[in-house]
Amino acid sequence: MSDVAISMDEVWKKFRRGERHDSLRDLVPAVARRILHGAPPADQLEAGDFWALRDVSFDVKRGDALGIIGHNGAGKSTLLKILTRLLRPTLGSYVTHGRIGALIEVTAGFHTDLTGRENIYLNGSIIGMKRKDIEKRFDAIVEFSGIGEFIDTPVKRYSSGMNARLGFSIAAHLEPEILIVDEVLSVGDYTFQGKCIRWMQDLLQNGTTVIFVSHNMDAVLSLCNSALLLDRGKVLAKGELNKVVAEYYNSGGRWKPELLAEPRVTTVEFSSSIGSELVVAPGARVVFRHTFEAKANSELTPGFFVNRGGKTVLDTTYARMLGHSLRINAGETASVEWSMAFNLPAGVYEIGYHVGEWGGGYHDYKSRGIIVTVADDPRVKGESFVDLRLEERRHNGRVLESVRADPGILR
Amino acid sequence: MFADLKSASIEVWEHRELLEQLTRRDIKLRYKQAAMGFLWAVFMPCLIVLSGLIVRYAMAQISGATLRPSDIANIAVKGVGWAFFVGALGFATASLVGNANLVTKIYFPREVLPLSSVGAQSFDSSIGIITLVIILPFLGVRIHPSLAWVPLLLLLLVLFTTGVSLFLSCANLFFRDVKYIVQVVLMFGIFFTPIFFEPAMLGPKGAYLAMLNPLTGILEGLRLSVVEGHNLLEPLTVVVKGVPRVAWDPWELAYSAVISVAGVIGSAVMFRRLQHLFAEYV
């Protein structure tokens, strides 16, 4: 047994934009053209073709967890489909050692008219479980999903959350040697998500190789031990987790598919309770304002994030203006002011900001907008800051003193 | 070619439980929330027999002959076979496209999808066969040694249907108009297959033309061995208006057998070679 679970070697995958001929009527002229001009070589692009993957190579060792990250359209799904044998690479080759289990759209095998029980057997065998394995794990699957008494109800009457939980629970009992996971952690409520993470950590501890595709950098950082960043089909970075994740954020602004309104951040201001100083006390109230403009009328989604040492501390990417929309006309400027208690421990933080279009691909982006230093606080050391106060001191039940600390924080 | 066949049979065998589950699913879905329930399985053969009787009655009116109970038996035996072929193709043609969510999401040998359509139709048709076994004695059909041919003929029918199913499901995935072509061909196919009539009724040349259809050998073989008690290794001539005509030729069976087996092998190889494109094209 080799210690490499997956090895991909210079894999290229070609796709065609737009419609293919998909009726017999169109086939005849296409075949005639092919006979007259000969089939195009595999490594060349015809009009309308594009490379979804370009020269992708990587190895995953047995028991490792690789996070595959990248912006939409980077080729993550194509890569997964090649690994799960759904697509064949145009050029290049890959080998996998071990039974592969894929958690990609876990409810794909469900039939809405069948009951939960029937779907467990159906979906279980679709993803490659043996009948006796399903029987053995049936109770565990039902238990994990939390479906309970609804197991004999047709799944068309389930809520979408129940559906996804049942699908995930079936897949979770597959016990693969290589697990491929695509954004399934976004299903279900928080309790269920916690369950899923614990389950994946258990698998990793038992030596399962995991390939994890996600937009959720926290999940990638906590589960994986290495990462691969894809950008327009190319491997932009691979290897050390923190570096690759940082690169993911840096690459954001470069991704410009169709330019429409091209919103742009013009100015950024920062202030805290002690003025515009870039050194603040932990827990200080800080205000962060950014101004932007756009080339066309558009609806914008500004946001910011805070990084420390390559790790994301917080990210409002999907805050969507906390429910407010921000419309802007061509040539106008708009600004947004965020305020927050900087409840972070001592250290150096990079505040990055971005502005994107609602539903659009383009966003302007800078990962190191402002460098803020949080000063040491004598009260707390460690990974996080809490606004710790000593309220009262007693001795043998007798109040010695009652302290009302005033840390000088603006409220 | 052998490598393709080998990998196809190994993978399908490894996924036999999936095939069983998908067949069960197809059967369950036909009878869930269905008003007709199991009557559905005999509905189409009944309609075929009824239309056959109308055609035969009209023919009898012109020729002056009378309809016999064995005529009903003749049409019923071939009608159940034809209903199997039509039913299986109807479901199998759409099987890959209809399960596009599976084809694009999860890997398993795609052969199991058209195969499960044939499997589900086999279940329906076995209800039809049981009904036939109950009814045929009342139509004067007796037990003959020639009934020993029935398992072989049924096997050939399933093989031929499977071959066509594999081919059409694959073709329909690449070209969506295949489904409509199949519908039209199956609608009129009953006139190109001797169900309502026997090949001998078409005259000497017509009989041989009808035998070009591989289903002719199988369905006529079923009729002759079940209803007429004829040993299929011997030729049969019938006398129509004083002229002897070929009603059965043992080579007909050989021809159907060769076509069925070659069809299954050819389609299976084609299917295997194209299936890596399915997820991309569906």
Rg (C-alpha) for chain A, rounded Å, is: 26
Nearest to A84 among B15, B107, B178 (CB): B107
* Three-class DSSP labels, A243-288: HHHHHHHHHHHHCCCCCCCCCEEEEEEEEECCECCCEECCCCEEEE
Inter-chain CB proximity A127 and B106 less than 8 Å: yes
Interface test with B, best of A53, A125, A182 (most B CBs within 10 A): A125
* Chain B residues near residue A15 by CB distance under 8 angstroms: 280
B64 or B256, which is more confident: B256
* Per-residue pLDDT at A187: 58
Name the residue among A290, A296, A292, A384 with its Cα closest to residue A342: A384
Average pLDDT, chain A: 80
Q: Is the pLDDT of residue A100 over 70?
A: yes
Instruction: Examine the pLDDT at B184 and tell me if it is beyond 80.
Output: yes
**Are B168 and B186 contacting, i.e. CB atoms less than 8 angstroms apart?**
no
- Which residues of A are less than 8 Å from B28 in CB distance? 113-114, 118
Contact A128 B101 (CB under 8 A): no
Q: How far is CA A163 from CA A169, A187, A319, in A?
A: 10, 9, 27
- In Å, how far is A66's CA from the nearest CA of chain B? 21
pLDDT band, very low/low/confident/very high, at A255 (cuts 50, 70, 90)? very low
Torsion of CA A345, A346, A347, A353, to 10 degrees: 50
Say whether B108 and A108 touch across the interface (CB within 8 A): no
Please give the residue of chain A at the shortest CA–CA distance from B181: A24
Structure tokens at A241: 């987790």
Backbone torsions φ then ψ of A239, nearest 5 degrees = 115, -125
CB B101 to CB A108 under 8 A?
Answer: yes
> Residue A201 half-sphere exposure, CB side, CA atoms within 13 Å?
11
Find, among B43, B81, B100, the residue nearest to B161 by Cα: B81
> Looking at the partner chain, which of A87, A102, A108 has a beta carbon nearest the beta carbon of B280?
A87
For residue B102, the one-letter residue type is L
Whether the per-residue pLDDT at A296 is higher than 80: the answer is: no
Contact between chains at B33 and A113 (C-beta distance less than 8 A): yes
Residue A257's pLDDT band (boundaries 50, 70, 90)?
A: very low
Question: Measured between alpha carbons, how far is A356 from A253 in angstroms, rounded to an integer?
Answer: 10
On the question of pLDDT at A383 being above 90, the answer is: no
pLDDT of residue A150: 92
CB contact under 8 A, A109 and B106: yes
Distance from CA of B90 to the nearest CA of A (A): 19
Mean pLDDT, rounded, for B195-209 = 87
Query: Residues of A with CB below 8 A from B106's CB?
Result: 84, 86, 102, 104, 108-109, 126-127
Contacts of A20 in chain B (CB under 8 A): 281
Per-residue model confidence (pLDDT) at position A359: 55
User: In chain B, positions 24-63, which contact chain A (CB-CB < 8 Å)?
Assistant: 24-25, 28-29, 32-33
Range ranked top by mean pLDDT from A88-97, A272-281, A353-362: A88-97
For residue A89, the chain B residue with the least C-alpha distance is B276
**Poorest-pLDDT segment among A19-28, A176-185, A372-381, B11-20:** A19-28
Shortest Cα distance, chain B CAs vs residue A386, angstroms: 46
Taking 50 as the threshold, does the pLDDT of residue A409 lie above it?
no
Contacts of A127 in chain B (CB under 8 A): 106
- CA dist A120 and A147 (Å) reads 12
Contact B102 A121 (CB under 8 A): no
Question: Hey, which of A181-190, A316-325, B203-212 has the most confident mean pLDDT?
Answer: B203-212
Closest partner residue to B105 (CB to CB) among A104, A121, A128 is A104
* A102–B106 C-beta distance less than 8 A: yes
- Per-residue pLDDT, B204: 81
Chain pair A-B, CB pairs under 8 angstroms: 75
Rounded to whole angstroms, how far apart are CA atoms B224 and B234? 11
Of the listed ranges A5-9, A195-199, B193-197, the least confidently predicted one is A195-199
Put simply, the answer to whether B25 touches A131 (Cβ < 8 Å) is no
User: Which of A92, A104, A6, A20 has its CA nearest to residue A51?
Assistant: A92
Which residue numbers of A have CB closer than 8 Å to B's CBs?
A: 15, 20, 22-25, 27, 81, 84-88, 102, 104-105, 108-109, 111, 113-114, 118, 121-122, 125-128, 130-131
Residue of B nearest to A126 (CA): B18
**CB contact B178 to A (< 8 Å):** yes
> Who's near B145: CB < 8 A, 6+ residues apart?
B229, B231
> What does the pLDDT average to over A397-411?
57
Structure tokens at B173: 């995935």
Mean pLDDT along residues B228-232: 91
Average pLDDT over residues A344-351: 83
Lowest mean pLDDT among A76-85, A232-241, A304-313, B22-31: A304-313
CB contact under 8 A, A108 and B29: no
Which residues of chain A does B281 touch, with a Cβ-Cβ cutoff of 8 Å? 20, 22
CB-based contacts of A232: which residues, under 8 Å, 6+ apart?
A54, A73, A74, A75, A255
Residue scoring higher pLDDT (B266 or A266): B266
On the question of pLDDT at A259 being above 50, the answer is: no
Closest-CA distance of chain A to residue B67, Å: 45
Nearest CA in chain B to A81: B105
Q: Could you tell me if the ipTM is greater than 0.85? A: no
Contacting residues of A for B276, CB less than 8 Å apart: 87-88
Looking at residues B173-188, what average pLDDT do you find? 92
Instruction: Please write the tens of the pLDDT for every residue from A217-230.
Output: 777 877 888 999 99
Q: Which tokens sit at B135?
A: 């009814």
Q: Is B7 on the interface with A (CB under 8 A)?
A: no
Residue A44 has pLDDT above 80, yes or no: no
Alpha-carbon gap, residue B115 to B95, rounded angstroms: 9
List Cα–Cα distances, A200 to A84, A162, A175, A188, B105, in angstroms: 19, 20, 11, 16, 21
Q: CB A126 to CB B106 under 8 A?
A: yes
Q: Kindly state the percentage of chain B with pLDDT values over 90.
A: 67
Name the token pair of A67.
């996070």
Put simply, the answer to whether B21 touches A109 (Cβ < 8 Å) is no
Question: Does the pLDDT value for residue B214 go beyond 90?
Answer: yes
Measured between its terminal Cα atoms, the distance across chain B in Å is: 25
